[in-house]
């Protein structure tokens, strides 16, 4: 983001002049960046979210009326949550117990996962420490080789008996080569 504190010779900021000319409609707060730079001012993001006064049409930076979808989104963001229904004392106590048990079980589960991860890290580091000096450096480097192309991928269904790629114009060699090229190109 460009900084509004850099001034031009004309007294305006570079950021506000650039944002107006290159990015029209970026700042709904108008010229507030030029007039004042105090912390109390409403910034661009907040200016976009401010509710319209009664009877006025909400307009964007470029003077266009905001579309219906944007207004609906703003109303949803500003909507008040529905009030919670009144619960009896027994229901409140039951909900409290359920929440307490849930928190306890989740904390236990989290602690078990973290202990398992910590143990694996310690075992890995200990195994690397017992390697010869030349291999230790290589063992600490991340493996950047792609996974094997013939690796089985987990699927929701078992393999279809009698299915042959060649029936659909695919061959194993071309498919593997295309996959390898895509992986090398980064997509």
Read off the pLDDT of residues 88-121 as tens digits, 9 standing for 90 and up: 999 999 999 999 999 999 999 999 999 999 999 9
Token pair recorded at residue 112: 């078990």
Percent of the chain exceeding pLDDT 90 equals 31
SS3 (DSSP) at 114: helix
CA 138 to chain centre: 33
Task: Find, among 26, 31, 54, 53, the residue nearest to 42 by Cα.
Answer: 31
In terms of residue numbers, what domain contains 111? 90-140
What pLDDT sits at residue 167? 77
| Mean pLDDT score across all residues of the chain | 72
What pLDDT sits at residue 185? 66
Query: 53 in a domain, yes or no?
Result: yes
pLDDT at 125 over 70: yes
Give the pLDDT band (50/70/90) at residue 48: very low
Query: 40 in a domain, yes or no?
Result: yes
In terms of domains, do 61 and 98 share one? no
SS3 (DSSP) at 43: coil
In terms of domains, do 95 and 61 share one? no
- Counting the structural domains of the chain, the total is 2
Percent of the chain exceeding pLDDT 70 equals 55
pLDDT at 84 over 90: no
In terms of domains, do 24 and 51 share one? yes
* Contacts of 74 by beta carbon, 8 Å cutoff, 6+ apart: 49, 51, 66
What pLDDT sits at residue 81? 81
pLDDT at 140 over 90: yes
Q: What is the DSSP letter of 65?
A: B
In terms of domains, do 99 and 124 share one? yes
Query: 182 in a domain, yes or no?
Result: no
User: Is the CB of residue 60 less than 8 Å from the CB of residue 66?
Assistant: yes
What sign does the CA torsion over 56, 58, 60, 62 have? negative
pLDDT in tens, 156-178: 888 888 887 777 766 666 566 67
> Which has more confidence, 43 or 82?
82
Q: How many helices (H) and strands (E) does the chain have?
A: 7, 0
Which position has the token pair 């090398």? 184
User: Is the CB of residue 7 less than 8 Å from the CB of residue 41?
Assistant: no
* Contacts of 78 by beta carbon, 8 Å cutoff, 6+ apart: 49, 51
In terms of domains, do 100 and 134 share one? yes
What pLDDT sits at residue 10? 45
pLDDT at 5 over 60: no
Q: How many CB atoms lie under 10 A from the CB of residue 28?
A: 21
In terms of domains, do 73 and 30 share one? yes
**pTM exceeds cut of 0.75:** no
What pLDDT sits at residue 1? 43
Token pair recorded at residue 121: 């890290």
> Rounded CA gap, 149 and 88, in Å?
60
């Amino acid at each position: 983001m460009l900084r509004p504190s850099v001034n031009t010779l004309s007294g305006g900021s570079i950021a506000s002049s650039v944002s107006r000319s290159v990015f029209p409609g970026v700042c709904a707060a108008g010229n507030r960046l030029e007039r004042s730079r105090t912390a109390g001012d409403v910034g661009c993001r907040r200016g976009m979210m401010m509710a319209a006064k009664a009877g006025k049409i909400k307009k964007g930076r470029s003077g266009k009326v905001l579309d219906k979808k944007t207004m609906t989104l703003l109303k949803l963001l500003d909507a008040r949550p529905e009030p919670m229904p009144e619960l009896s004392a027994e229901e409140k106590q039951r909900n409290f117990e359920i929440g307490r048990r849930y928190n306890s079980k989740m904390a236990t589960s989290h602690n078990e996962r973290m202990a398992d991860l910590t143990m694996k890290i310690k075992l890995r580091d200990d195994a690397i420490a017992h390697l010869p000096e030349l291999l230790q450096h290589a063992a600490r480097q991340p493996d950047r080789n792609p996974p094997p192309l013939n690796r089985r991928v987990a699927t929701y269904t078992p393999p279809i008996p009698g299915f042959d790629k060649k029936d659909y114009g695919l061959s194993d060699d071309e498919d593997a080569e295309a996959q390898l090229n895509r992986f090398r190109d980064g997509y």
